[in-house]
Every structure is written in C-alpha cells, then in structure tokens.
C-alpha cells in the first residue's frame, strides 16, 4: 500500500474518511461533506448510535449530493485526548475497515482541531503509519486465495495542511515499519524454509544498507568454545550459526578524535531457535507448530538493525543472534549431559527443552567479550511461564540496571509495546545450583520459571548493564490488533528503535 500526502481538498469520487469529535461535533472536513450532502450526513449520524467516541465508525454508501462511493465517518473522541498511539490505531482501523472493500484509493481528511496537542501534519503521519503497520500480510503460500478475498486498497491519500511536513515525518516512521515487516516476515516463514543457515542469509541482506554482517559456522564456534549453543544443535541436520551485525552510525566523538577508543557500541542479542521441538525432552504435539517462531528474538534483532541502518541512526549498534534447531535424534543432547560454555562455566542440561538459555549463554558471553558494549539487551521467546505471568499483553523485563530498565519501560509505553519489570535476586540464583556442574539449566525448585531463566542468563553478562526481554507472550498474536494483524507482531522493534532514538544517538 502506497501512502501519499496532499493538500486538504476533499475528493469528489472514491472513498473518503472524515472525523467527528465526541458528542457528534463535526470536524471542518465533516462539515464540508455535510454541506455537500445537504445536511444528510448529520441526519445519518443522528439516525445511528454513532456519538463520535474514539474508535466508533459509521459507513455511508453512495452519499447523496456527491459522486463518492462511500463516506467513512470515524470517531475521534475529545480533541484534548488525541494522542499519537490513538491516531495510529485509527489508521489501522481505517485500513482494516476499507482495505478489502473494493476501493483502490481511500482519502483521509485530517483537520486542525482546537485543543488538540498534535498538529494536522503529525496526526496525518501517525494515521498513515498505523495504516501501514496494519497492512502487513503474509500470504505467499496461499496460492488459491480468491481475488475477491485479497485487499484492494493500493493507495492511502492523507489530506492535511502542512502535507510536506507530514511526508517527512512519515518517511522516518516508514523505516521503522520496514524493520517491523522484516521481523514479521521472518517469524511467519515455516521452519522448513527458515533454519539457521537460511536465517543467516536473510540477515546478510542487510549488507546493502551498510550493515557489516559476519556469520560464524560450527567450526568457528567450536574453536571459540561455545559448547552450550552447539549442544542444542547436536540433534539437528542443520548446522548452527551465529550472526554478528554491526552498524556504525555514530558521529565521531571527541574521545575518538583525540585518538581514544572508538565509540563503544550498544548491543542486542537474540534467541534464534528456528524450531523448538524440545529435543529429547520433547514437547507435546499440540501447538508444537508454534515453535517455528522460537527465533522471534533473533527476528527482532535483525528487524531492528534494518531500521537503524535504514534511518541512518547516529549510533553504533551490534546485533548478535544464536541460530540453532532443537531436534531429537540419536546425535541429540541428552538430559544429564554436561556442556562447557564459552565463559568456562559448565552446565548440567537437565531438560533439553530449556534450550534458549543455553544458546543465549554463549551469544551473550561472546558479545560481551568481543565488543565490551555499553549495554546489552537480549530478546527471547524464553519461557511459557512468562505467558502465565503477563499473558499476551506485556513482555517480561529483567535487568541488573535500574536506569536502563526505566528507559526500556518508558519507550515501551511510547510505542505501545508495554513491558513489566520482574525481579531478580540471589534467592532465585540459588535454585540453579547443580551437584555435578557449575549450574543446571532448569531450576531445582518450584515456580518462578521466567525468573530463574533470567537468572541463568545473568551469569553470562558479568557486570555489563543488561536487560532481558522475555517475549514469549507477545511475539505472535492470535487475533487482529489495531496496528498488528494476527500472526507475527514484530514486538520489540518499535520499542528498541525508540529507546535508541531517545537515549543513545549522538547529536
Ligand atoms: N521456546 C520455549 C518457550 C515458549 C513457550 C515460547 C511457549 C513461546 C511459547 C522454551 O524453549 C521452552 O521450552 N521453555 C520451557 C522451559 C522449561 C523446560 C523449564 C517452558 O517454558 O516450558
Ligand atoms: Mn524449549
Ligand atoms: Zn525455545
């Protein structure tokens, strides 16, 4: 779907969207349409239960006095309560309502509203961004889909004063949507198509945006001593990979110019289990197909790097993803095996289904060891227990750094990807004590499964400021949301892009 911005002149044909405020107060565009309709818009509104409340809608087919096919009236609520996220949701709602109704082009009229904190150009850009985010589709394998079931909308025209400004604002947001779409695409692909090597190849495509991409193969990882990650991959015919992505976008700092160390990067680490069968500790077959998106953390890191490079963010960022397939076979790792991680810590593998932490153990250590980053944020579909805690509404946040945790939580609120901070503590770490190795991969006690998993990860970051996002509950949505169609959500890309923009870009 193409987005264009143009000056606020109402079209004579096609589909037109106008807004109405709380208590049926018409916006200037709605008033203009009403006068073209000789007052019949007001009459139609009065004949319905439409009050202009936020997210309420009313469709009028073939409005009298015009050559329009339809007028779509949207409720805006109170002008003083209009916010960015609400405008994005409105755009998403417009796409959902009109995307497949037969219109090739839909025009949305945006007005200056008294008491509203956003100007028309800002509102227009948010509406367009929301529509774009909602328009994602993964239908490449639905070869028999009827033409009449496919979306028809190919152009969204947003009408507002200051449309040149709207276009610029939207261009920035479009880069975020590009990253989100890439992530959604990767998590949607089936596990026979996306496996460590093919996912690494997808990451390689970022090279054309100026990202430096390196792929470590099994031999290289063996040489580095990554026994924890490699143990998980032992049962699979697919070779494990680790991908390192580097984006150098920071302006040279004063320190560097004086011959000091180059600007230290911030780092993102992702769990990339391209299919999690559980391994020898095999999962029940019901719902096992969901485990294709157990590479969601890696998918977010790739999508985020695409966004940062796409918008030429003034930051040095590193992305490290550990890619493995967790399969049962005669060569698979067994419960009881003891592996040696790159950090030197030995791990007793009690349950081969607690594999994500084993992958991250080596990815985190490698990242810290090689780049000595300012901070590390990891993302992982790590535990089913976080879904018990937080459902599909919020991701779990764990951190050894209060400032970082606050910044992440604040960014999540801004972009509508909320997180909730969970505790860490020695009392949880003790539950990971092993009789035969330095640590065991699942807790020996009861409960707190997400916390003990995070506690396990913490052993592999030392003192580096670190945050872990358990995204098991938010990576896939079973239902349509305003700016997220059901399926892969891309949760994390918008949040981390916002975090970088707010705190880690050079002037
Ligand atoms: N990938 C799963 C976690 C998961 C579950 C993600 C549901 C998304 C939806 C992870 O590897 C796993 O299997 N975790 C186990 C840990 C347990 C064995 C300690 C779990 O949560 O059951
Ligand atoms: Mn598992
Ligand atoms: Zn897993």
pLDDT confidence band for 379 (50 / 70 / 90): very high
The answer to whether the CB of 367 falls within 8 A of the CB of 261 is no
On the question of pLDDT at 446 being above 90, the answer is yes
What residue ranges of the chain are covered by domains with CATH 3.40.630.10? 175-503
User: Which candidate in 70, 271, 311, 357 is catalytic?
Assistant: 357
Mean pLDDT across the stretch 42-63? 97
Mean pLDDT across the stretch 31-57? 97
Cα 387 to ligand 1 centroid, rounded to whole Å: 10
User: Which candidate in 24, 25, 238, 283 is catalytic?
Assistant: 283
Cα 278 to ligand 1 centroid, rounded to whole Å: 8
Which numbered atom of ligand 1 lies nearest the CA of 449?
A: 19
Q: Whose CA is nearest to atom 22 of ligand 1?
A: 384
- Distance, C-alpha 132 to centroid of its chain: 14
On the question of pLDDT at 258 being above 70, the answer is no
pLDDT confidence band for 88 (50 / 70 / 90): very high
Establish whether residue 356 lines the binding site of ligand 1, counting it when its CB lies within 6 angstroms of any ligand atom.
Answer: yes
What per-residue confidence (pLDDT) applies to 416? 98
Superfamily the domain 175-503 falls into:
Zn peptidases (3.40.630.10)
Establish whether residue 355 lines the binding site of ligand 1, counting it when its CB lies within 6 angstroms of any ligand atom.
Answer: yes
Exposure string (b/e) for 288-297, b if CB count within 10 Å is 16 or more? eeebbbbbbb
Q: Whose CA is nearest to atom 13 of ligand 1?
A: 353
Cα 332 to ligand 2 centroid, rounded to whole Å: 14
Q: Return the DSSP state at 264.
A: P
Tell me the pLDDT tens digit for each residue of 180-219.
999 999 999 999 999 999 999 999 999 999 999 999 999 9
Ligand nearest to the CA of 472: 1
Tell me the pLDDT tens digit for each residue of 65-81.
999 999 999 999 999 99
Q: What is the CATH number of domain 2-140+149-162?
A: 3.40.220.10
Q: At what angle do helices 163-188 and 296-310 cross, to 10 degrees?
A: 150
Q: Whose CA is nearest to atom 16 of ligand 1?
A: 354
Establish whether residue 296 lines the binding site of ligand 1, counting it when its CB lies within 6 angstroms of any ligand atom.
Answer: no
Establish whether residue 470 lines the binding site of ligand 1, counting it when its CB lies within 6 angstroms of any ligand atom.
Answer: no
Mean pLDDT across the stretch 425-440? 98
On the question of pLDDT at 504 being above 70, the answer is yes
Tell me the pLDDT tens digit for each residue of 486-498.
999 999 999 999 9
Instruction: Dump strand ranges (E) for 241-351.
Output: 241-248, 266-276, 316-326, 338-340, 346-348
Q: What is 59-119 written as a DSSP string?
A: EEES-TTSEEEEEEEEEEE-GGG--HHHHHHHHHHHHHHHTTSS-SEEEEE----TT-SS-
pLDDT confidence band for 256 (50 / 70 / 90): low
- Arithmetic mean of pLDDT over the chain: 97
Record the tokens describing residue 158, joined without a space.
């947003």
What residues are neighbours of ligand 2 (ion), with CB under 5 Å?
276, 353, 355
The Cα 388–Cα 455 span in angstroms is 18
What residue ranges of the chain are covered by domains with CATH 3.40.220.10? 2-140+149-162
Q: Whose CA is nearest to atom 8 of ligand 1?
A: 472
Active-site residue, 283 included: yes
On the question of pLDDT at 27 being above 90, the answer is yes
Tell me the pLDDT tens digit for each residue of 208-224.
999 999 999 999 999 99
Question: By percentage, how much of the chain surpasses pLDDT 70?
Answer: 98
Cα 356 to ligand 1 centroid, rounded to whole Å: 8
What per-residue confidence (pLDDT) applies to 207? 98
Ligand nearest to the CA of 272: 3
What per-residue confidence (pLDDT) applies to 263? 83
Tell me the pLDDT tens digit for each residue of 100-146.
999 999 999 999 999 999 999 999 999 999 999 999 999 999 999 88
**Distances 323 to 85, 273, 355, 493 between C-alpha atoms, Å:** 34, 6, 11, 19
Which numbered atom of ligand 1 lies nearest the CA of 356?
A: 11
């Amino acid at each position: 779907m193409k987005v264009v911005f143009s000056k606020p002149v109402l079209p004579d044909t096609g589909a037109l969207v106008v807004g109405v405020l709380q208590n049926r107060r018409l916006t200037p565009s709605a008033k203009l349409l009403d006068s073209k309709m000789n007052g019949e818009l007001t009459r139609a509104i009065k004949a319905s239960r439409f009050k202009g409340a936020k997210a309420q809608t009313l469709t009028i087919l073939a409005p009298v006095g015009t050559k329009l096919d339809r007028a779509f009236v949207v409720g805006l609520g109170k002008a003083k309560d209009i916010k960015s996220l609400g405008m994005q949701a409105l755009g998403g709602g417009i796409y959902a309502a009109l995307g497949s109704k037969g219109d090739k082009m839909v025009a949305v009229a945006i007005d200056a509203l008294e008491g509203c904190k956003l100007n028309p150009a800002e509102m227009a850009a948010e509406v367009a961004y929301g529509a774009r985010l909602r328009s994602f589709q993964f239908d490449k394998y639905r070869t028999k889909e009827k033409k009449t079931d496919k979306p028809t909308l190919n152009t969204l025209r947003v009408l507002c004063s200051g449309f040149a400004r709207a276009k610029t604002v939207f261009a920035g947001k479009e880069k975020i949507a590009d990253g989100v779409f890439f992530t959604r695409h990767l998590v949607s692909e089936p596990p026979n198509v996306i496996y460590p090597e093919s996912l690494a190849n997808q990451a390689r495509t970022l090279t054309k945006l100026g990202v430096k991409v390196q792929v470590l193969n099994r031999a290289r990882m063996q040489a580095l001593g990554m026994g924890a990650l490699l143990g998980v991959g032992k049962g699979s015919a697919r070779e494990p990979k680790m991908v390192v992505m580097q984006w150098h976008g920071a302006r040279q700092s004063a320190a560097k110019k004086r011959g000091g160390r180059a600007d230290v990067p911030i780092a993102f680490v992702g769990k990339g289990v391209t299919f999690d069968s559980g391994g020898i500790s095999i999962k029940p077959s019901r719902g096992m197909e969901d485990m294709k998106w157990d590479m969601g953390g890696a998918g977010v890191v790739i999508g985020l790097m695409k966004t940062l490079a796409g918008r030429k963010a003034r930051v040095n960022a590193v992305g490290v993803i550990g890619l493995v397939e967790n399969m049962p076979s005669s060569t698979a790792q067994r419960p009881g095996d003891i592996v040696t991680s790159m950090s030197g810590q030995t791990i007793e593998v009690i349950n081969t289904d607690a594999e994500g932490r084993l992958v991250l153990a080596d990815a985190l250590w490698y990242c810290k060891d090689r780049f000595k980053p300012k901070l590390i944020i990891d993302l992982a579909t790590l535990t089913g227990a976080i879904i018990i805690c937080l459902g599909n509404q919020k991701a779990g946040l764990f951190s050894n750094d209060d400032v970082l945790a606050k910044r992440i939580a604040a960014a999540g609120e801004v972009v509508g990807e909320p997180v909730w901070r969970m505790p860490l503590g020695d009392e949880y770490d003790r539950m990971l004590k092993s009789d035969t190795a330095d640590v065991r991969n699942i807790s020996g006690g009861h409960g707190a499964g997400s916390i003990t998993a995070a506690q396990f990860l913490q052993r592999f970051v030392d003192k580096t400021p670190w945050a872990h996002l358990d995204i098991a509950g938010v990576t896939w949505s079973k239902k349509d949301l305003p700016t997220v169609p059901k399926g892969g959500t891309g949760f994390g890309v918008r949040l981390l892009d916002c975090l970088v923009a707010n705190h880690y870009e050079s002037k």
